[in-house]
Amino acid sequence: MDGELSYAYAVVRPTASLEAEVLRGIRGVASGPVRIVRAGEAAAAVGSVPESDFSEAALKVHLEDLDWLERVARAHHSVVELLATHTTVLPLRLATVYLDDERVREVLRRGESMFDRMLDRFADHVEWGVKVYAEVPQGSAGRDDDDTDVPDPGRAYLRRRRQQREDKGAAWSAAAEAVRRIEVEVAEVAEERARHRPQQGQLAFGAGENVANDSYLVPRTRSDEFRERVLRSVQDVSGVRVEITGPWAPYSFAVLTGPEAPEEVRRS
């Protein structure tokens, strides 16, 4: 029979209702039930997964399989988001796997003070994402009357290229101004900001070029105000599209660093 490993979703503030009510019947990665593993005041949400799919060697193969990765990511994040609606969570990285629950307890004990500080920091806070897109005009040829009167494909091409560069420059300048305004407007509401690489290709949904991809840590009670401030700051900026996503668990800010951080929390 295939052995099992312990898959950790998040470090959490344990509550009496988590196991008794919230997690009852919940299935996570590999359709496994989710349980709470405790060590002193620290706790983690954990599930069992087959070693054949989640050993270090197997993961090296599976992480190249986008369909498999998407299924795991969806299950992982659904559990984290469920937890976040009932308690404070410190999300762990996708495919954080241990040999067994005792190894999970070792990590919890070793990082207890760090986990406690981070959970205090995230209490009653959520993450909001803000993406800014420059909407570069498509198909602007920069054509003028001279192109008709004096046919010159070379000159017309250069004009079109120049116009395209000018249009793109104007769109990016407008997007940069939008980013600046957003940062100023939300400074009184957001407690932290994390910058991410702008998304490209299939990751960038909708029209325009993604020029800013930021996350903000916001008190839950000020979420509506945060959204209003973002939208208000760019309402008179043309050629820009702003996408607001959330609220999420604080994925972008759950970075385990410092001397108290446990050694690489993956597959220990």
Of residues 17, 20, 12, 5, the one with CA closest to residue 37: 12
Q: What is the mean pLDDT of each run of 10 residues along the chain (268 residues)?
A: 88 89 94 94 94 94 94 97 95 95 95 94 97 78 48 70 66 90 97 93 65 97 98 92 96 72 45
For 156-182, write each residue's pLDDT tens digit.
676 766 666 666 767 788 999 999 999
CATH architecture of 125-252: 2-Layer Sandwich (3.30)
pLDDT the model gives residue 98:
96
What is the model's pLDDT at position 261? 47
* 170, burial (CB in 10 Å: exposed 0-12, middle 13-18, buried 19+): middle
- At residue 151, the pLDDT reads 62
Q: How many CB atoms lie within 10 A of CB 190?
A: 24
Residues 107-145 pLDDT 10s: 999 999 999 999 999 999 999 999 999 987 765 444 444
pLDDT on residue 79: 97
Give residue 167's pLDDT: 61
Please tell me the distance from the alpha carbon of residue 266 to that of residue 268, in angstroms, as a whole number: 6
- Distance of alpha carbon 188 from alpha carbon 190, whole angstroms: 6
Q: What is the pLDDT of residue 19?
A: 83
Note the pLDDT of residue 164.
Answer: 66
Which positions ≥6 away from 244 have C-beta within 8 Å? 128, 129, 130, 227, 230, 231
Boundaries of every domain in the chain: 4-123, 125-252
Separation between Cα atoms, residue 221 and residue 47, nearest integer Å: 31
The whole-number pLDDT of residue 165 equals 64
Please report the pLDDT score of residue 41 as a whole number: 84
